[in-house]
Structure 1
Amino acid sequence: MLHLSIQYLAIPVLVGVVVLWRLLKVGQRPKGMPPGPPTIPILGNLHQMPKESPHLQFQKWAEEYGPVYSLMLGTKPTIVLSSDVAVKDLLDKKGGIYSDRPDMFISQRVASGNHRLVVMRYGETWRLIHKLVHNILNIKVAAKYIPYQDLENKVLLAGLLDTPDALFNHIRRFSYSLSTQMIFGFRCPDFADPMLKRLFETVETWGVVSASGVAQVADLYPIVQKLPHFLVPTVSQAKKVHEVGRELYTGHWLKAKQGLKDGTGLPCFCNDLLLAQKSEELSDEAVGYIVGSLLEGGSDTTSSTLYAFVLAMMVWPEVQKKAQEEIDRVVGPDRLPEVDDYPNLPYIRCCVKETLRWMPTVILGVPHSVIQDDTYKGWVIPKGATVINNVWTIHMDPKRSPEPRRFNPDRFANDPTTLYQSANGEPMDRDNFNFGAGRRLCQGIHIAERSLFLGMSRILWGFNVSQPLGTATPDIDDLVGGITVHPRPYKVDIKPRSTKTVKIIRTAVKDCEDLVHPDSGQWKKVPDGMVFGSWKPDSKVKV
């Protein structure tokens, strides 16, 4: 009898030991994976993830464990690529298996309704949207939208004349209105527009909930996803983000759609999407999020980069002087720089590249996921592993960029490539990694380059940027944001370079005002050179 009792007692004890043993294995780094910081049971390296400035910790780990290292975040293996060559070898050359996104419960499923393009999983839907976006953002079509870029930039200059203290708001209006014109066909004349404010609030809130500790835990321990929502407040917050985003983006889309149907709409991306909606049977919500994702990307990153550029000009006045000397020599004092001046302003091209390198906006990239087991340099990269493009660390590598926190456009003096050419060239010569990699490379790169060139060249042509008297030099490493970041708001003096400069800007803006309705600020007629879309369901695009 005693013998039987011991046997029955031994079974649950044995089961308990097995369960405990397996539990203690959770969080351990599997054999063969790249090296990384020591793990602890259950959490792996999760307890070492910082709440603030994670890019700095990722940089330290790269210095300690090498350009390719691994983290165990709970149950999830994560591979961190901190070298240009590794990004090229895996995300570019093996894009077929490295183009997925991790399953992001809060960021994608709850806060985006599975529609937000930047975090959408790789598959048929993503490939269809990729083809659509390529059709409306390729370099030939993008050139048609230069009239929109020109007008919005001139309005930006007028804003800096009238209210220079509102620099950040003027830059945001510029990038937002440019995006709404290209995407929907309408302008945003005033930075106080509630739709503009709602967009940036939506992007910022989505970034915060996506980067929150709760979002990470929910992805790493799926049981959290099944808990009542009152126990996981971030879920309720993410639902609100989705409701606001869906209303905003679908509303924009439906308005543009109606305008195109009744003949009042202007050439814009929605032309192609309307044709595609019919052939591909896309819902209004799905199309709304496609255009919303484009609006987010075009508005947020461009404005953040321009804001960083003005900060650099204030902190490094010798760079500002050199850039202005080139502009004065090539363009002269009698006209504004134009898009056609770009090839003749190599130092401004270098400023574009250096700003993107010096102050990356997507500081840790958007994570990829590998869809099958792979190996790299003898290491195992398991199926489903998250793969991080460690943008900050690559940009701050002193071997690539000596004195990386110094703003030095001359480091690109021998690089005549466009941003797109550089992104597809040799990895060690690539100028920046802001626009992603492989099949996830941002297709708005051509438009972004023109917008940045016009913004930088014209601001320096028309204004002197300096540090206000009696103020401390801003901390260039003080960044705010979530998935995307920008410098913390700073004080700056922006003054016109001459009375002639003021007159030329005023005249240019008046010429623009003649093209738009005085009450609404919208275009009176289709700008010269603009074309409606030409989406074809059988368009052959490599995806």
Structure 2
Amino acid sequence: MAVLVQVLPIVVAVAIVVRLLLSGRRPKNLPPGPPTLPVIGNLHLMPKRDAHLQFEKWAKEYGPVYSLILGSKTLVVLSSDRAVKDLLDKKSNMYSHRQEMYIGQTLCSGDLRILMMGYDARWRMCRKLVHSLLNISAAKSYVPYQMLENKQMLYEMITQPERCMYNIRRYTNSLTTTMVFGWRSTTYDDPKMMQLFEGFSEFAELNQTGLAALVDFFPWMRWLPDFLLPVRAKAKELHRREKALYLGHWLRAKEEAKAGTIMRCFSEDLVAIQKAEGISDDQASYITGTLLEAGSDTTSSTLYAFVQAMLLYPEVQKKAQAIIDEVIGPNRMPTMEDERDLQYIRAIVKESLRWMPTTIMGAVPHAVTQDDWYNGFLIPKNAGVVNNVWAINMDPARHPNPRRFDPDRFKDDLQSLADAAANPDASKRDQFTFGAGRRICPGIHVAERSLFLGVSRMLWAFDISPVLDAQGKPILPDPDRLTQGFVCQPEEFQVKITPRSEARRQMVIEEWHAAEKEWLDPVTKQWRVCPLGPAKTRKA
């Protein structure tokens, strides 16, 4: 017994050392990937910025399906259209889960954010509710909201052209607040709007880089004291501020819905079913808040990328304007009814999404719920699975000379964005920015309409040209300089927005003033009359 007591600690110590030495290695039968180091695996190879470029480089070196060992976790990276179709789409019942995200979901989101929820009954309930707001029929009904917000954006491009990015952000945010809560964001300088964009940017960057990522890769780190884990306090503070914003929006909408004074919107219907579905106010605030952040950020980022593309490819702008002038003429602006006659504009929308994907590496990785085999390789249970959007969108086999902005790639593609994503032929999908499988972005229908109206009307009304330096040379942005995080856009750049003619300038101004007079309260600039019909009566 004495000998056993003496030997046991040694055996335990050896077992721990062996386990540590084995951890970080790539297990047998996994897809190939870069060489690993004990314990940390491939963590030492993870870049601090522009991770999408390294992930693309690995795809070229190790193939369309490769693996990364990140501490205690396995990450499988899908870098071909076929792999995404075969796994995330065709096996979506297995590939729609999430790995545990202590910083992003537990601390930053109070375990409430739909984006990071596991594939369970709660997520399916939330997803069903969101679908009711964003399905194709509902998306068509929101066009009157889109038209008004678009008119204000064009007006602001005349009155404050130096604030191009902020005019675009107000457009997408106000549309989303109207659809979700029933009120408008009348100015970008609203502190709550600025908090939304700045807070989500902070959230996105925090969850992809630095110590926050390490805590997910080494779960034992979460037991460290606060002074050794400062990111914990940062994540909790971010959640405190975010929850206050989202809960404030939700409770205001709930009060207005019960009073029967709310505009037609998602919150109106959510209030009606909240009790029956057992949805807490905290969860309701994050259901609506998730819609707000998704609808505001990704669409605005794509429109901003479109503006950058027009600076760098003026020949595309000239061709598009010539087509718009031929189809629409100078006496009216494009509407959604013109979409089928403006295929080149639809192609510009598709190319903007391909050329500058906002969810550059598929936002949050999927996770597989059981062991699976693909092309002779094991994809183990609980492995994260990345939709490598940048690498697929930039695949020269799919899109020759992929860093060139060329809408003619899609000249014969008459599919909607949703139809392209669902096409059983993976090679016929236009781009991968909206995700895949059961986790595909439900806002795809609304986004397509917002983007078409934004692109077509900006090209109808304005010339987009570079600012000149002191020597008279154009100042052009670098298209490869992007903001960081799992949702990104071009870094802010200078651009000159000028009306194409005095007549078009006047029409933009007159249409906005007419819309103000018809629909908006003259003081608050909130909707005075709802174009979708009156709100339903609620009992307090």
Normalised TM-score (structure 1) = 0.95
1:306 counterpart residue number: 303
3-state SS, counterpart of residue 494 of structure 1:
strand
- Match of 2:27, SS? coil
How far the C-alpha of 1:195 sits from its partner, in A, is: 1.0
Q: What CA distance in whole angstroms lies between the structure 1 residues aligned with 2:50 and 2:323?
A: 37
Give the total of aligned pairs.
530
- In the alignment, is residue 132 of structure 1 matched against residue 129 of structure 2? yes
The residue that corresponds to 2:523 in the other structure is: 519
Aligned to 1:93: 90
Match of 1:505 among 505, 508, 530: 508
Closer, same or farther: CA 204–533 of 1 in aligned 2, 3 Å: farther
Q: 1:533 to 1:179 in 2, by over 3 A?
A: farther
Query: Which of 334, 338, 342 is the aligned partner of 2:335?
Result: 338
For the residue of structure 2 that corresponds to 1:70, the secondary structure is strand
Aligned to 2:384: 386
**SS of alignment partner, residue 28 of structure 1:** coil
Q: CA deviation at 1:276?
A: 2.2
Give me the whole-angstrom Cα distance separating, in 2, the residues matched to 1:415 and 1:283.
44
Pick one of 45, 59, 63 that aligns with 1:62.
59
Aligned match of 2:461: 462
CA contact (8 A) 1:145 1:530 kept: no
Q: Does 1:269 align with 2:263?
A: no
**1:234 corresponds to 2:231:** yes
Deviations 1:163-196 (A, max 9, x none): 1000011001001000000000101111111111
Contact conserved, 1:337 with 1:458, CA < 8 A, in 2?
yes
Further displaced range: 331-340 or 271-280? 271-280
Amino acid in the other structure paired with 1:168: M
* Inter-partner Cα distance in structure 2 for 1:281 and 1:393: 42
1:10 shift after superposition = 5.4
Amino acid at match of 1:479: L
Match of 2:321 in 1: 324
Deviation sequence 1:487-523 (CA, Å, 0-9, x none): 0111111100001101111111011111101110011
How does 1:410-429 map onto structure 2 within 5 Å?
410-425=408-423, 426-429=425-428
User: Please, which of 37, 52, 70 is the counterpart of residue 40 of structure 1?
Assistant: 37
Give the match for residue 22 of structure 1: 19
- The one-letter amino acid of 1:414's match is D
- Please name the residue that 1:347 is paired with: 344
Separation in structure 1 between the aligned mates of residue 438 and residue 453 of structure 2, nearest angstrom: 28
Out of 142, 159, 162, the position equivalent to 1:162 is: 159
Q: Which amino acid aligns with 1:74?
A: G
Cα pair distance change 1:249/1:7, threshold 3 Å: closer
Query: Does the 8 Å CA contact 1:144/1:531 hold for their aligned counterparts?
Result: no
Deviation of 1:272 (Å): 1.7
Distance (Å, rounded) in 2 between the aligned partners of 1:339 and 1:230: 55
Residues 271-305 of structure 1, C-alpha deviation per residue, up to 9 Å, x if partnerless? 22112212111111100000000000000001000
Q: Which moved more, 1:43-52 or 1:273-282?
A: 273-282
CA distance in 1 between counterparts of 2:346 and 2:55 reads 30
1-side partners of 2:42 and 2:319: how far apart?
47
Identical aligned pairs, as a percentage? 50
Provide the C-alpha distance between the structure 2 equivalents of 1:93 and 1:188, rounded to a whole number of angstroms.
40
What are the Cα deviations for residues 48-75 of structure 1, in whole angstroms up to 9, with x where unaligned?
1011111111011000000000010011
* Mapping of residues 345-494 of structure 1, within 5 Å: 345-365=342-362, 366-425=364-423, 426-470=425-469, 471-494=474-497
Unaligned stretches of 5+ in structure 1?
Answer: 535-543
State the 1:16 CA deviation: 3.1
Query: Residue 533 of structure 1: CA displacement?
Result: 8.4
Give the letter for the 1:310 counterpart.
Answer: V
For 2:439, the aligned partner's letter is R
Tell whether the 8 Å contact from 1:117 to 1:293 is kept in structure 2 after alignment: yes
> What is the alpha-carbon distance in structure 1 between the residues aligned to residue 5 and residue 184 of structure 2?
77
Contact 1:144–1:530, Cα closer than 8 Å, also in 2:
no
Alpha carbons 2:360, 2:487 under 8 Å: kept: yes
Aligned AA (2:221): V
TM-score, structure 2 as length reference: 0.96
Per-residue Cα deviation, 1:378-407 (whole angstroms, up to 9, x for no partner): 111110000000000001110011111100
1:181-196 alignment runs, 5 A limit? 181-196=178-193
Task: In structure 2, list runs of 5 or more residues that go unmatched.
Answer: none
1:207 to 204, 207, 215: 204
Q: Distance in 2 between matches of 1:531 and 1:28?
A: 62
Q: Is the 8 A contact 2:262 2:535 kept in 1?
A: no
1:22: Cα distance to partner?
1.7
- Say whether the 8 Å CA contact 1:269–1:533 is kept in structure 2: no
Q: Tell me the distance in 2 between the aligned counterparts of 1:452 and 1:530.
A: 25
Call closer, same or farther: CA 1:262–1:13 in 2, change over 3 Å. closer
Alpha-carbon distance in 1 for matches of 2:2, 2:185:
80
Q: Distance in 2 between matches of 1:434 and 1:328?
A: 30
CA distance in 1, matches of 2:62, 2:211: 27
